[in-house]
Chain A
Amino acid sequence: MTMIGEENKNEKKNFDTELFCDAVPKEVPRINGIIQKFYDWAQANSLWILAFGTGCGSIEMRPLYTARYDISRFGMAPRPTPRQSNLFIISGYASVKTLKRIVRSYEQMQNPKFVMGLGSCTVNGGMYWDSYNTINRLDHYIPVDTYVAGCMPRPEALIAGFEDLKKRIKEGRAEGANEYAKNFEWYKANQKKVIKDWDMPDYNW
């Protein structure tokens, strides 16, 4: 005999379509030509980092803003809202609980958006490879443009990673957002496999 509360729990939708937009993302094709190049150049030279320290690596990001490393030289700056940032640095191990937030924040960023995996944990789980709640490969959940390996990588390595990312952006290869939209179902399946209490729409606008 099932209890009434449980019945309702089963029937309950995990999100309310009145409260959440349930549209799926679309690919926005690149406009070929000089304008796109110009925009790419601007994107590369104005990387705004989403200020979201997901793991232990975020402590390595602080020196970036200091006088010693000063990433503002490259037009980079921390930005407190994903709406306005275009670079998401996953700084270290991502537990399942954090992954949910990572996905949400990632989806809230606007289309040309870049992800940098920081540290070994994002590559293959690092020292947490056999943990029961830490993901191993970040690129199965969101598209990653650059990995900076190490445990932890030094700021110099990060800057090198930025340079690499900028190169990719300028070459037009950093199309993570479109990739995500293209392989949306695959990503969602992977995400839903680990995130058990999925209480949000498929795409968090």
Chain B
Amino acid sequence: MVNPIYIIAVLLGIGFILPLTEKKLSKLGPWVFYAGMIFTALVSYQWFRFFIVSGGETYHIFTAGVKPPLSINLQIGLFESVLLFVTNLTGLAGAVYMTKQISETGVRAMVLLLLLLLGLNGLILTRDIFNLFVFMEITAISTYSLIGMDVKSRSLSAGFKYMTAGGLASAFLLLGIIIVYSLTGTLNLDGMIRSAEGIKNVKLLSIGSMMILFSFIIEAKQFPANGWALDVYEGTKPGVAGLISGIGTTAVFFGFYKIMPLFTNETLKIVMWAGLITFFFSNLMGMKQENVKRMLGYSSVAQTGLVISVSAWSFMLGNDKLIFPMIVLPLLFNHFFTKTGLFWIAGLVKKDTTGLWGSITENKILHGIFIILILALSGFPPFPGFWGKWNLVLAMSLDSNFFYIWVLLAGSLFEAAYLLKWAGITLKKDKSKDILEYNSYKMLALQIVVLIFFAVTVYYFMTGNFDHTNGGLHFYLPFALGTGLLLLPFIPEKLKGMISMSVIAVYAFYFLPDQNGIGRFFNAMFLSGGFFLTFATLNRKDRSRSFYPLLMLMLGSLIALVNSDNILHFFFSWEIMTLSSYFLIHRGKGSAEESFRYVMFSLAGAFLMLLGFAYSFPNLNGQMSFGIFAVPGQFTSLSFILISIGFLVKSAALGLHLWIAGSYAKAEDDTSAFLSALLSKAGIFGFVMLLLAMGAPSAGKFDLAYILSWIGALTALIGTMMAIYEEDAKRLLAYSSMGQVGYIILGLAIMSGLGWTAALFQMVNHFLIKGILFLAIAGVIYRTGTSEMYKMGGLIKKMPWSFTAVMFGIIAISGVPPLTGFGAKWLMYEALIEKGWYLQTGMAFFASTVAFLYCFRLIHAIFLGQPKTEFRNVKEAPAWFLIPQYVFIMAIFFFSIFPRVLIDRISAAVEPFFGKSLTWDGNTVISSLGYWNATAVMTIVGVVFVVLAIGLFIKLPKVQKVKQFNIVFAAERPETPELTHFAYEFFRPYRRAMGWMVRPYATRFWRSVTESAYTVSDALRKIYTGNGQTYIFHILLVLVILFYISTGVK
């Protein structure tokens, strides 16, 4: 084992030797420099390996051969070694990144880098407070110089602002050190902490620690004393900014962390809230930011704030040993690698404005890294940030600190907003070309960092708090499939699709029979739907490598969601599902805005769900199983409401439906089928789980299930109402989907056996129908190239198969006997009337009749009426689309004739929870109110229909087939098909009569919410005027505030 003191020695030594021997060894200089870097990295790796693999004891190094307080001592333990290793490796990568700069500026840059690294190593290692100060100053001076090294006005002024701030910080650190020293009589941290407890002059001690705290708050760039830091991030070269943001912040944080035990709980509380406030406000201000580096700066500041806040809280709890690796380290690593990586990527791109990053896609690897880092930074699984936040939220809930969670999640949402917006821009190709400044050294450095990050991610994923009580394989397999496909970019796309299909088939074959209960329905639905809808995607011509992996991830996450055993599984799958569906939607043309809206709504919903989990989590003393919902707790109804909102967002319930039309419409045509047929059921599954686990609690006087029923009924009605006014076929179907899912929610809210049977029946029905309709429309759009319905018309002659499919689809969806839709309606009304919810029944009935309007419009405007001249030569939709449609139609017919097959199974699944609600007499299903014999209905209708059709067929053997303009047109001839086809604004009179129902209240509300958020963001960031003196004022203001708080607390 190499003593870590040699790290310092070697770095310092090389730092001194290099300038001295600049002339003689000019060739050798860089080699020595890199050798030194590699040496430090190796040494720290050795220690890292020692602690991780061998689990060694914490090791103290005493300088000058004496123990403290007489000497300075260093300490290297597990955490130190980890941080040391990461820091040195990243430092090395940074050196690689700046190779060009180094070769230009020669020895100066090397020295500065070495000194910076030296300072950071020292900060991590030292246990002496004054030594800490010295290392901090070394770090600071080398940083100043690095900032100023590229001699530009911007960086110089930023550096100057930094210096004034740093100078003040160091002054107060000294003051604090001397006060604490005067009280404790030692400079050794451990000694100080030990003796701090017995000190009588508490006030002076608190002032002293306040001074130290203050200087660290400045150094760690806490709000609002951080204007200079943002300027530094913006003004510096990205290489340096990455180092400052990554390793610089980490080391300063660790220094802060070491001092934290010195503080009293009151002081820690201040730190905790100050950090959280920093997190919240920095992210809020970041939303309005368009400069890449400054935006990363805001994010960096925010993340540091969070890490500091959590550390302070861990010391307050006295649980720091556990919390540090579980929460602080993942958060820190997440921040460290992503920020370093992103800053370095920014160094590879010439443009500074986020809006101009469109053509970063030119370099696939770089773009991939970029997206991964953005996702990690936004806190998506499986990256460390997710684990950190997850653990943090749950731990906070155990501490009953719910307000903290609210603020934390709000801040996270803001952060995700600006990061995902940025990522969204890069996912769209734009005209700006040649924005990359490719440099292989920079790429190499980036790849090193990302590789370490992957390793960290894998580590946290493996040690993540999964509780695999049963069927871990069920859970992992889907993700493995998606990721596997992602890692196989060289396979042809068709093959990928086939692999996906076969894997789904195999999965269904092996796992489906083992399952039981309600989950089996969902799984069967997701698997069969996934299989057949994937079949339709094989038609694709455009080759994008990410489609099938994303699709498989989405399907996989749906399946995993159903198979999840605990809230972590559930949330993990949920996030992956949101993410993969976001990217899938984003692939469509012109979908940037819509997919962004989708992901923001989804994320907000997911965060509320997480909050709901947090409110219930303490119920079983920290167990993560779904059992927590069954135990009555203090916050049961609140938890129910919050989780419900999460599910309602996914189900596009009224008020939360803004995303649905746009994202369904703008997604690629075959993807929309997945979204509507499968993805919309995720929220339903959530409700199923929630209602099973929790029942339907009541909040005060209100029965929540009753409220839910109204939400469902209103969603059904308004969704349907909105559908009828749409000109775009896919938007129409999207709103239709919203309305149908509203029915399902209504059915679930009934909380009776019949209601659940109805809901699940309706769900299966909706899945089949929307599969048919979206695929049929996809086929039509594929051939005609438009989704505006009024532009089509008369396609029945060209696409009879698609027409037939749509016809069966609309008959089924509108609930007309004899197809399955009626079964769903029948069960639904029986259940509702049985429950006594008459008004909801009326509303549901109204919605179902209104559904006729859009059904007719869909089929009329596209397939009937006047064919357009431009579509004279369109062909039938490809068989890839038709085959799945007809499979679904056969399923519909089967369930229409023998609904018992389905209803029996649903009843069996529901019975354990609600008891028996339906009886059978032959093929007649009998409820408490009525009866229905689907087989008889089908037979009678079929026989009558066939007899009459034959009758007409016999009677009219010599019918003249005529063409489209052979119509009675008031004795005129139609001029053009366009003007003869009545399809545009089809239901205008209806809108005049009933339009008041669909005024965009929700749109206005959410628009004002987002606008005010952006306005606040813009107003807040104006405090950073760019004037160095303002920043000094901020710093002193923080000092005064801190002083008042710390003395006022007493």
Q: Evaluate contact between A104 and B966: CB separation under 8 angstroms.
A: no
Residues of B957-987 whose CB lies within 8 A of A: 960-966, 968, 971-973, 977
**Is residue A105 within 8 Å, beta carbon to beta carbon, of the partner chain?**
yes
- Known contacts A199-B973, A200-B973; is-contact A108 B960 (Cβ 8 Å): no
**Is residue B872 within 8 Å, beta carbon to beta carbon, of the partner chain?**
yes
Chain B residues with CB below 8 A from A23, complex form: 960
A70 to chain B, nearest CB (A): 27
Q: Evaluate contact between B962 and A205: CB separation under 8 angstroms.
A: yes
Stretch at the interface among A13-21, A131-139, A154-162: A13-21
Q: Which of A16, A19, A83, A101 has the most CB of B within 10 A?
A: A19
Give Cα A79 to B851, complex, Å.
33
Residues of A15-32 whose CB lies within 8 A of B: 16, 18-21, 23
Q: Which of B869, B964, B971 contacts A52 (CB 8 A)?
A: B971
Contacts A/B (CB < 8 Å), 13 sampled: A16-B965, A18-B963, A19-B977, A20-B965, A21-B961, A21-B962, A21-B966, A23-B960, A101-B972, A102-B971, A104-B971, A104-B972, A199-B973
B348 to chain A, nearest CB (A): 57
Chain A residues with CB below 8 A from B961, complex form: 21
Q: Which residues of A contact B (CB under 8 A)?
A: 16, 18-21, 23, 52, 81-83, 101-102, 104-105, 108, 199-200, 204-205
Q: Evaluate contact between B968 and A19: CB separation under 8 angstroms.
A: no
Give Cα A187 to B960, complex, Å.
21
Q: Evaluate contact between A21 and B973: CB separation under 8 angstroms.
A: no
Give Cα A204 to B961, complex, Å.
12
Against A, the Cβ 8 Å flags (1 = close, 0 = not) of B143-171 are 00000000000000000000000000000
Give Cα A205 to B959, complex, Å.
11
Give Cα A18 to B960, complex, Å.
15
Q: Which residue of A lies closest to B972 (CB)?
A: A101
Q: Evaluate contact between A19 and B964: CB separation under 8 angstroms.
A: yes
Q: Which of B869, B872, B966, B977 contacts A204 (CB 8 A)?
A: B966
Against A, the Cβ 8 Å flags (1 = close, 0 = not) of B741-760 are 00000000000000000000
Q: Evaluate contact between B968 and A81: CB separation under 8 angstroms.
A: yes
Q: Which residue of A lies closest to B963 (CB)?
A: A21
Q: Evaluate contact between B963 and A105: CB separation under 8 angstroms.
A: no
Q: Evaluate contact between A83 and B962: CB separation under 8 angstroms.
A: no
Q: Which of A16, A83, A105 contacts B971 (CB 8 A)?
A: A105
Q: Evaluate contact between A20 and B968: CB separation under 8 angstroms.
A: no
Q: Evaluate contact between A205 and B973: CB separation under 8 angstroms.
A: no
Q: Which residue of B lies closest to A102 (CB)?
A: B971
Q: Evaluate contact between B968 and A108: CB separation under 8 angstroms.
A: yes
B978 to chain A, nearest CB (A): 12
12 further contact pairs, Cβ within 8 A, besides A19-B963, A199-B973: A18-B872, A20-B963, A20-B965, A21-B960, A81-B968, A102-B971, A105-B968, A105-B971, A108-B966, A108-B968, A200-B973, A205-B960
Against A, the Cβ 8 Å flags (1 = close, 0 = not) of B566-590 are 0000000000000000000000000
Chain B residues with CB below 8 A from A83, complex form: 968
Chain B residues with CB below 8 A from A16, complex form: 965
Chain A residues with CB below 8 A from B960, complex form: 21, 23, 205
A143 to chain B, nearest CB (A): 18
B32 to chain A, nearest CB (A): 82
A78 to chain B, nearest CB (A): 15
B977 to chain A, nearest CB (A): 8
A168 to chain B, nearest CB (A): 25
Q: Evaluate contact between A19 and B965: CB separation under 8 angstroms.
A: yes
Chain B residues with CB below 8 A from A21, complex form: 960-963, 966
Q: Which residue of A lies closest to B966 (CB)?
A: A205
Chain A residues with CB below 8 A from B869, complex form: 18
B798 to chain A, nearest CB (A): 12
Q: Which of B962, B963, B964, B971 contacts A101 (CB 8 A)?
A: B971
Chain B residues with CB below 8 A from A108, complex form: 966, 968
A77 to chain B, nearest CB (A): 17
A133 to chain B, nearest CB (A): 18
Chain A residues with CB below 8 A from B972, complex form: 101, 104
Chain A residues with CB below 8 A from B963, complex form: 18-21
- The list of the 9 closest CB pairs from A to B, nearest first, reads A101-B971, A19-B965, A21-B962, A205-B962, A205-B966, A21-B963, A105-B971, A81-B968, A20-B965
Q: Which of A52, A83, A205 has the most CB of B within 10 A?
A: A205
Q: Evaluate contact between B968 and A82: CB separation under 8 angstroms.
A: yes
Q: Which of B962, B971, B972, B977 has the most CB of A within 10 A?
A: B971
Chain B residues with CB below 8 A from A52, complex form: 971
Chain A residues with CB below 8 A from B968, complex form: 81-83, 105, 108
Q: Which of B964, B966, B977 has the most CB of A within 10 A?
A: B966
B976 to chain A, nearest CB (A): 10
Give Cα A17 to B251, complex, Å.
82
Q: Evaluate contact between B966 and A20: CB separation under 8 angstroms.
A: yes
Q: Which residue of A lies closest to B976 (CB)?
A: A19
Chain B residues with CB below 8 A from A20, complex form: 963, 965-966
B100 to chain A, nearest CB (A): 64
Chain A residues with CB below 8 A from B964, complex form: 19
Q: Evaluate contact between A104 and B962: CB separation under 8 angstroms.
A: no
A90 to chain B, nearest CB (A): 12
Q: Which residue of B lies closest to A110 (CB)?
A: B960
Chain B residues with CB below 8 A from A204, complex form: 966, 973
Chain B residues with CB below 8 A from A82, complex form: 968
B969 to chain A, nearest CB (A): 9
Q: Evaluate contact between B973 and A104: CB separation under 8 angstroms.
A: yes
Give Cα A132 to B805, complex, Å.
57
Q: Which residue of A lies closest to B967 (CB)?
A: A108
Chain A residues with CB below 8 A from B977, complex form: 19
Give Cα A189 to B977, complex, Å.
29
Chain A residues with CB below 8 A from B973, complex form: 104, 199-200, 204
Q: Which residue of B lies closest to A54 (CB)?
A: B971
Chain B residues with CB below 8 A from A81, complex form: 968
A204 to chain B, nearest CB (A): 7
Give Cα A20 to B964, complex, Å.
7
Q: Which residue of B lies closest to A199 (CB)?
A: B973
A104 to chain B, nearest CB (A): 5
Give Cα A200 to B974, complex, Å.
10
Give Cα A83 to B869, complex, Å.
26
B975 to chain A, nearest CB (A): 10
Q: Which residue of A lies closest to B974 (CB)?
A: A19
Give Cα A102 to B972, complex, Å.
10
B63 to chain A, nearest CB (A): 96
Give Cα A172 to B961, complex, Å.
28
Chain B residues with CB below 8 A from A205, complex form: 960, 962, 966
Chain B residues with CB below 8 A from A105, complex form: 968, 971
Give Cα A167 to B964, complex, Å.
38
A102 to chain B, nearest CB (A): 8
Residues of B924-976 whose CB lies within 8 A of A: 960-966, 968, 971-973
Give Cα A127 to B668, complex, Å.
69
A122 to chain B, nearest CB (A): 17
Give Cα A82 to B968, complex, Å.
7
Give Cα A16 to B869, complex, Å.
11
Give Cα A115 to B963, complex, Å.
26
Give Cα A23 to B960, complex, Å.
9
Give Cα A20 to B965, complex, Å.
6
Chain A residues with CB below 8 A from B962, complex form: 21, 205
Give Cα A188 to B961, complex, Å.
22
A159 to chain B, nearest CB (A): 26
B960 to chain A, nearest CB (A): 6
Q: Which residue of A lies closest to B969 (CB)?
A: A104
Give Cα A81 to B968, complex, Å.
7
Give Cα A26 to B314, complex, Å.
96
B637 to chain A, nearest CB (A): 62
Give Cα A16 to B973, complex, Å.
12
A26 to chain B, nearest CB (A): 8
Give Cα A104 to B872, complex, Å.
26
Residues of B323-360 whose CB lies within 8 A of A: none
Chain A residues with CB below 8 A from B872, complex form: 18
Give Cα A108 to B970, complex, Å.
11
Give Cα A18 to B971, complex, Å.
20
Q: Which residue of B lies closest to A83 (CB)?
A: B968
